[in-house]
Amino acid sequence: MSAPTEGLVRAGDAGAADGFVRAGDLRAADLAPGELRAVTLADGERLCIGNHAGELFAVHDVCPHAEFPLSEGALYANGELECCFHGAKFDCRSGAVLRGPAEDPVATWEVRVMDGAVWVRPADTTADGERERA
């Protein structure tokens, strides 16, 4: 099993300074290709972090259709993330709905690897670490 490539955050960088937070004690090497893992952040936010073809991704760990944990679903080789409750499918990279019954996309998070540790921030975060307003 090969570990995902180190991300843009390098040793010595302050991950939290640009909005990134540690994804619990998860390490990039802990996730084999095709594997999903539930992670709870320090603020209580639950994420589904997975390894698709050697690249880590993170989405909110709740299906927007019936609030079932996506981390208990399946990740397919084509990048489809399937909720095992009603079969809704999402693109693991963009969160877009690929098949109902879900109508809303799942929120995505940016992922960086620093010294082997997994760091995340909401995908709608600006360069200065602030969350964008819609």
**95-109 residue pLDDT tens:** 999 999 999 999 999
Q: What is the pLDDT of residue 32?
A: 95
Q: What is the pLDDT of residue 45?
A: 93
Q: What is the pLDDT of residue 51?
A: 97
As a whole number of angstroms, the distance between CA 58 and CA 61 comes to 9
3-state secondary structure of 22: strand
Query: Two tokens at 131?
Result: 């969350």
Q: What are phi and psi of 63, to 5 degrees?
A: -65, 130
Q: Which domains are present in the chain? A: 17-122 (2.102.10.10)
Average pLDDT of the chain, as a whole number: 84
Residues with pLDDT less than 50, the chain: 1-15, 126-134
Kindly report the pTM of this predicted structure: 0.80
Is the Cα dihedral 92, 42, 116, 37 positive or negative? negative
As a whole number of angstroms, the distance between CA 94 and CA 30 comes to 23
Q: What is the pLDDT of residue 66?
A: 86
As a whole number of angstroms, the distance between CA 27 and CA 5 comes to 12
Q: What is the pLDDT of residue 16?
A: 54
